Structure 1
């Protein structure tokens, strides 16, 4: 870096300065969250980088290990969080340098996808696109009955129970990102949100997460074993807003108590650093889709052009691959292939529209002459992601 600035791995002696910077540019709870991450053996100081100007920490970012699960296949992933820059050092490319560090570290750890929450537009500059919808925050318009249930704040001993309840709800999604074991520990310990358990006759039956009361209580990550448990969770947390969770037991049970969703888009950022490596990793998913979609006995290849490059996915007897990369292909239809703008790849693989829906929205996405094959390979995907920060 220039001007005497140095980017390096954070050290224990940086803790107070990083905490002060995060609290100044964000919330005091961010400093607590950072300390929990770097002092946890599942992450450690290697997960955090800083830019220093002499002895002063002027910018920081942290990389959290995550796992996406698409149709049962685990995908190594990561999430960049706890990003902050000193006001006097803004506009000097420090966040860009830290994002480069995060992406290099992520690739070295074998992670194929980066997912994050972030301020509008900013992270597009670093290769991210909006791809996976965030469930809408909706007002609570009435309160259900909670008779026969009690609510208590969860502790570290409750993590296996909460994880089990969440796993059952996320099983309904095509794409999910559960909390890692470390993240569960940090969330239980930090002050920025509260984890709750609802019990019936002493047995945990629902869980959720809320913002602090001084922010207006917003409930998210609702999970329940049945309708009554979900009703009790909403009633006893006294939430005034809730992130909807379509397709789940809790989400469907609480739908009648929510007002309309705002008419605005809200999505997770997604970055794919090595598209070929990710597509190669997804071969089992593609194979199952073909086998289940009527192509089990067929043999051929699917051609997908990103215009400046393309890939061929050979298939036979319900199996796909290996992926064959190629060069520029401006007119994929002539080769029987589909065209997909490169910045649409994350939406194609992880988004709610699938190839058919993207074709209806973008002129540089189209299925080519083998539409049924392509739409079978790339269907709509319903996602359910749980992240460090409440979205």
Structure 2
């Protein structure tokens, strides 16, 4: 499909009377939200009237109240002949910590096309626009979850655990003794609790090396506009909030999922599990990260891990990402036997390569090396690795040995293997990225 630029900001002609543009005004916001909140257009198949309302509220509140989104990055494909929206996407900005280095991520969401307009390249056109926005705003990576395999064609690779949990039957959770009285109580969080929730969340991430950051502004947005269902754990002896958790009912089965928690005390954790047992009395799922106190407690009681799904990541500028995480790489060198190292390391991604130039333990530069021959008899790079496998390595999701089963074309020079392992170790990571509306709906 040939695209023709049209005079005017952010408008592109897609041919046959179709245009692609960003949301401009309140009318566009309402129309975009109605597109996702209508079951009649069958964008997501059959949806209940409740879910339609949830999606509509989600779209409205994201565009009107999210502290960072740009309206122009909520993109629509419009039939100029009828004025109807037939396809959409959007960009949601996030911020992450990578061993003390702040990274910016762009999440692709609200992807949908009316069935009668599919197979005409509208999503591909919007993906191109999305990736241009990612590059222009200098996001370090983009992140997606969605249709299995589909986004691989756009350069995405599965790289981080998401929506993963342990499961435990309620009967495995022991009841409190007859004389045992807990000092804790639970109450729903309100907007004024944003500050304490931000502190508890940050504390809960102290055991992780890679996680999503949640600012005070974002917590206020979640509580006020998205009705985020956080429940605070109050120590009645001091009146202080000592933790929180968020739950949702499991679809198509009786039970509950704790999809986020910040708990730091075994007694408080047991109180929460017993509370959930008394309230729901069947299966209880406890969301990761695995370092979380509630997960560790559930495992001590006999929980089992559910199958893992993964986030899809795309890095538009790999060399730029390496430059940005240089402080983390330098710290890894500093605490290793390579402290003060001076050497060049060639990372060969087969179609292109780059040199990491270390001087006295500091990453002085990352230089493009173009094509490096890694065929039989050629010298190749210090590490030769397909680009999608390298993303898993950089984000600490897998080590070299763990990648070889799926990518046997990874090779590392024996004399370089140790430094590669030092630079790119396994990382404890987890992303929880809430952005949907969780509150009541008027049917």
- Please give the TM-score of this superposition, normalised by the length of structure 1: 0.91
Contact kept? 1:192, 1:212, Cα under 8 Å: no
Which residue does the alignment assign to 2:268?
Answer: 229
Equivalent position SS for 2:183: coil
**1:279 lines up with 2:322 in the alignment:** yes
Range with greater deviation from structure 2 (36-45 or 47-56): 36-45
**1:160 lines up with 2:195 in the alignment:** yes
Which whole-Å CA distance do the structure 1 matches of 2:167 and 2:227 have between them? 21
Out of 71, 74, 80, the position equivalent to 2:102 is 74
- C-alpha displacement of 1:168: 1.1
Range with greater deviation from structure 2 (167-176 or 333-342): 333-342
Task: For 1:281-360, list aligned pairs within 5 A.
Answer: 281-331=324-374, 334=379, 337-360=382-405
Change (3 A) 1:151 1:271: same
Contact kept? 1:135, 1:245, Cα under 8 Å: no
Which whole-Å CA distance do the structure 1 matches of 2:251 and 2:308 have between them? 26
Task: For 1:2-151, list aligned pairs within 5 A.
Answer: 2-11=15-24, 12-23=26-37, 24=39, 25-26=43-44, 27-28=51-52, 29-40=54-65, 41-54=67-80, 55-134=83-162, 136-142=164-170, 143=173, 147-151=182-186
Range with greater deviation from structure 2 (347-356 or 161-170): 347-356
- C-alpha displacement of 1:235: 3.4
Contact kept? 1:219, 1:243, Cα under 8 Å: yes
- C-alpha displacement of 1:46: 2.8
Equivalent position SS for 1:290: helix
Contact kept? 1:42, 1:182, Cα under 8 Å: no
Out of 244, 252, 270, the position equivalent to 1:207 is 244
Change (3 A) 1:127 1:335: closer
- C-alpha displacement of 1:351: 3.7
- C-alpha displacement of 1:213: 7.1
Which whole-Å CA distance do the structure 1 matches of 2:224 and 2:35 have between them? 21
- C-alpha displacement of 1:192: 8.2
Aligned residues: 389
Equivalent position SS for 1:140: strand
**1:242 lines up with 2:286 in the alignment:** yes
Query: RMSD value over aligned CA atoms?
Result: 2.4
Which whole-Å CA distance do the structure 2 matches of 1:84 and 1:233 have between them? 38
- C-alpha displacement of 1:389: 5.7
Equivalent position SS for 1:308: coil
Structure with bigger helix share is: 1
- C-alpha displacement of 1:181: 4.5
Which residue does the alignment assign to 1:268?
Answer: 311
Contact kept? 2:20, 2:76, Cα under 8 Å: yes
Which residue does the alignment assign to 2:303?
Answer: 259
- C-alpha displacement of 1:272: 0.5
> CA offsets, 1:89-135, max 9 Å, x none?
12222222222222221222221111122121111122111011225
Which residue does the alignment assign to 2:48?
Answer: none
Contact kept? 1:71, 1:174, Cα under 8 Å: yes
> CA offsets, 1:57-101, max 9 Å, x none?
111122111112111111121111222222221222222222222
Equivalent position SS for 2:304: coil
- C-alpha displacement of 1:312: 0.7
**1:377 lines up with 2:423 in the alignment:** yes
Greater CA radius of gyration, 1 or 2? 2
Range with greater deviation from structure 2 (229-238 or 348-357): 229-238
Range with greater deviation from structure 2 (204-213 or 55-64): 204-213
Equivalent position SS for 1:313: strand
Equivalent position SS for 1:334: coil
Change (3 A) 1:191 1:214: farther
Equivalent position SS for 1:323: strand
Contact kept? 1:129, 1:343, Cα under 8 Å: yes
Contact kept? 2:76, 2:88, Cα under 8 Å: yes
